[in-house]
Amino acid sequence: MSTATESVDLVGHESTRNLARAALFAALVGAFAYVSFPVPLSPAPVTLQVLGVFLAGVLLGPVWGPAALGIYLAAGALGAPVFSGGAGGLGHLVGATAGYLWSYPVAAGVVGLAVHRGPALRDLDGVGVPTLVGGLIAGTVVIYAVGVTGLALVLGLAPVEAVVQGALVFLPAEAAKIAAAVGIVRSDALAAT
Amino acid sequence: MTVAYVPDDSRFHRLDPRSKLFLQVAFAAAAYAYTTPRGLAVLSVLAVSCVWAAGGTVREAAWGYRWSAPFLLAAPVVAGVTVGPPWIRAADALTTGLASYRVWIVLLVAASFVRSTPVRESRAALQWLVPGRPGRALGIGVALVFRFLPLLRHDLASTRAAIHARCGAERSVHHRMRIVAVAGIARAIGRADRLATALTARCFAWNPTLPPLRFSRTDVPAVLLATGLTVAAIIAVA
């Protein structure tokens, strides 16, 4: 039997806490893919995944928010059933909805930067509603711009066709998600976290 | 039923996870480089062979990805229909139809990887691919996602059941989204902080004990095939 000696390189408590939160947030975005709501004016039921992306940026900040979404993409690529409809596998990262998926870490970073104005986390009570809504709209724009571009490139659609199929039908639901996100950030239930 | 790891002793199960990752990437590159009826016909045979080599069936793999169907089926229709005469442009619909089909066969090959690779091996391959602490952090994160996903899904399902029990379905959509998300986040952060304390108490370290990865003779055909596909893709693009 062979033995190996190696010095133990402990992970600091702060890094452990951030890593655990990022990983659990990644799993939560995956769990949100299973929760769908029928939204008026939207032809397809809407899942909470994008809400998870917004909240990763707001609650984890512009460094650990994108890290959480990076973990989410890696886990999905390796087969965790975290993508829309409980699917997983590397194929999704080069498939029709690849643009949306790749945009998630960027969008979380944009939302985090807009809300916290730097890498350090600010107290959310000091963040005004206009700043919050502005950040969330910027995040939505990033997701749909990259998503629609990906859709057009992968499926060979013209820009207008891609916007009709990949953005117009989903936008009413995004307004509901932004309203929900503002309510969540202002919620007393999260004040202690 | 979702696409997930199934313990088995198929040809794909015996391959090194890095060979399978290489094959997937090379297959996707070839599918993008040869999106023609003849190219996709050859690649379809290969994709079906991969599914069989992993001990699965095409029906099972396709059913696992049924949620992608609306996007992929609608795209050729959206591309083909025009406002005004001639109303339908067959050439545009065919181009997008081939592109949609290409995504399907890439998903089939991805399904054979997922079916034949346990999480520990995937994590070891990921940490081989991304060296240093970023790779280790990513590996730990991925392992935690696999571990905690069922628990968080259960948390959300119990919250939704509680909402329905209290006639919450009559409330507005954004209000219901807020209740489900607040409960989900509060529980996820609570679990994360308890996990962090438990990990620190157990001397959580950057040096993990992962299964050793070793290429063997069984990997040779897969690596040769992947190399061939990569070269073919490069030739098509160049």
* Interchain CB distance below 8 Å, B141 and A189: no
pLDDT at A188: 67
Tell how far CA A53 is from the center of its chain.
2
How confident is the model over B42-99, as pLDDT tens digits?
Answer: 999 999 999 999 999 999 888 888 877 877 888 888 888 777 777 888 888 888 889 8
**Which pLDDT band, with edges at 50, 70 and 90, does A11 fall under?**
confident
Q: Where are the domains of chain B?
A: 17-117+215-237, 131-201
**Which tokens sit at B152?**
């968080």
* Interchain CB distance below 8 Å, B107 and A156: no
Q: Which of A26, A87, A94 sits opposite B2 (nearest CB)?
A: A87
* Interchain CB distance below 8 Å, A31 and B153: yes
Whole-angstrom Cα distance, residue A129 to residue A182?
7
Q: Is the pLDDT of residue A41 over 90?
A: no
What is each CA distance from A106 to A103, A142, A176, B102, in whole angstroms?
Answer: 5, 8, 21, 27
Within 155-194 of B, beta carbons closer than 8 Å to A belong to: 155-156, 160, 173-178, 180-186, 188-193
* Interchain CB distance below 8 Å, B174 and A177: yes
User: What ipTM score was computed for the predicted complex, to two decimals?
Assistant: 0.89
Q: Where are the domains of chain A?
A: 13-190
- A96 touches A152 (CB < 8 A): no
Which has the closest alpha carbon to B63: B9, B17, B2, B134? Answer: B2
Which has the closest alpha carbon to A52: B167, B1, B123, B153? Answer: B153
**Residue scoring higher pLDDT (A192 or A90):** A90
Which has the closest alpha carbon to B62: B18, B98, B132, B112? Answer: B112
Q: Which CATH architecture has domain A13-190?
A: Orthogonal Bundle (1.10)
Question: Which of A11, A48, A101 is the mutation pick for testing B, counting most B CBs within 10 A?
Answer: A11
pLDDT at A190: 67
Find the closest chain A residue to B160 by CA distance: A35
Q: Which of B137, B192, B205 sits opposite A8 (nearest CB)?
A: B205
